[in-house]
Amino acid sequence: MKRLLIYMVCTVLFSGCSPEDRALPPALDAIRFVSGISVEVSKATGPVSGTVLQSGSRIGLFAASGGSGGVGGTVVMNNLMGTVEAEGAIDYDPVKYYEKDKKYNFYACYPYTVSNYTDTEKAPSLSVSLAPNAQSQDDYLWASLPGVTPEAGGVTGVRKFTFRHALCQVCVRIWNGSDKEVSLNSITLKAPGSGVLSLGDGTWSEANETKTNTFTSFTLYSPTKLLPLPKDAFYEVPAALLQLPVSEEVMKSQVFSITIDGKTYEVKPTTPAGGWKAGFSYLYTVWYATDGIGFQGTVESWQPVDGGNVDTGET
């Protein structure tokens, strides 16, 4: 009798579900993606860290297809919103499918940013304006998969987007070499604050690099309560600024304003040679003394960014 009751309950439960209500595996020709973050350890190639985007992250998906000869391009995905699921899988709707004898170019960006993709002759791009406060900035990432051809028989595997940092990171620490405690009032940086990012290769354009009067004033540090800096000790500013990669000449036009004990010192970064590059983190050390300050820059490993939504911890 007990077995019969179990059988009857199961029959009622399953008979009440239509085929449309049951989860089905994706079609063999469905376009599917997973995500990851580029991991590079050499300073020569740009030190970044992290392996996955956080589950729930929203990204933009773009795609164009064309015939085998590269003509007759068609926009397949125009900034479709994708959601990063567990293990980096990307879910999006409506699902798109490969077509026979077509070659595809895929692109993605994080975070999801409003953009319209219409010209299949070139990669999509984003107009980006950086938030002026370090705590409010987003860590922009890009990825591309050019020249993807569906496999024979309609069975095409999952494609992996390897996301790369589009910005560089600027950190500051201060050495108080005076004979007393001093207060750190604020740290700001005037630098280009907007540009157009290509999702094809991560290059920036239209950054107004020569118009210093249009530079944005970025706030790295501005506490509600003044912080005392002990003498003969380093203080690591806990936040970091995300900045556009710029040439050496543009970098020299940028201005740090550092206010210590009510006095403001203005300095221009002169290192490293070659300017700022995407995926690099630059640490600037302020050497403070009663008679003035010194300023020195070094290249460091990429650090997690407060205010951004990317999990850059190693797994």
> pLDDT category, 293, cuts 50, 70, 90?
confident
Tokens read off for 236: 């690591």
State the Cα–Cα distance between residues 99 and 27, nearest whole angstrom: 13
pLDDT band at 74 (very low <50, low <70, confident <90, very high): very high
What share of the chain has pLDDT > 90, as a percent? 48
- Is pLDDT above 80 for 226? yes
Which three-class secondary structure string do you get for 31-88? CCEEEEECCECCCCCCCECCCCCCCCCEEEEEEEEEECCCCCCEEEEEEEEEEECHHH
Within the chain, all domains assigned CATH 2.60.40.2620 are found at 27-122+131-165
CA angle centred on 213, ends 211 and 216, rounded to 5°? 95
Give the pLDDT band of residue 28 (cuts 50, 70, 90). confident
Residue 234 has pLDDT above 70, yes or no: yes
Q: Contact at 8 Å (CB) between 62 and 93? A: no
pLDDT at 170: 92
- State how far the Cα of 135 lies from the Cα of 124, in Å rounded to an integer: 28
CATH number for 27-122+131-165 (one of 3.90.45.10, 3.40.50.880, 2.60.40.2620, 3.30.70.1560): it is: 2.60.40.2620
pLDDT tens-digit profile of 105-137?
999 999 999 999 999 999 999 999 999 999 899
Q: Tell me, what's the pLDDT at 6?
A: 38
Give the residue, 33 or 227, on which the prediction is more confident. 33
Residues forming CATH 2.60.40.2630 domain(s) in the chain: 168-300
Q: Tell me the two tokens of residue 149.
A: 């051809």
Q: Tell me the pLDDT tens digit for each residue of 169-208.
A: 999 999 999 989 999 999 999 999 999 999 999 999 887 6
Q: What is the pLDDT, as a whole number, of residue 211?
A: 64
- Round to whole Å and give the CA distance between 121 and 124: 9
Q: What is the pLDDT of residue 206?
A: 82
Is the CATH code 3.50.50.60 the one for domain 168-300?
A: no
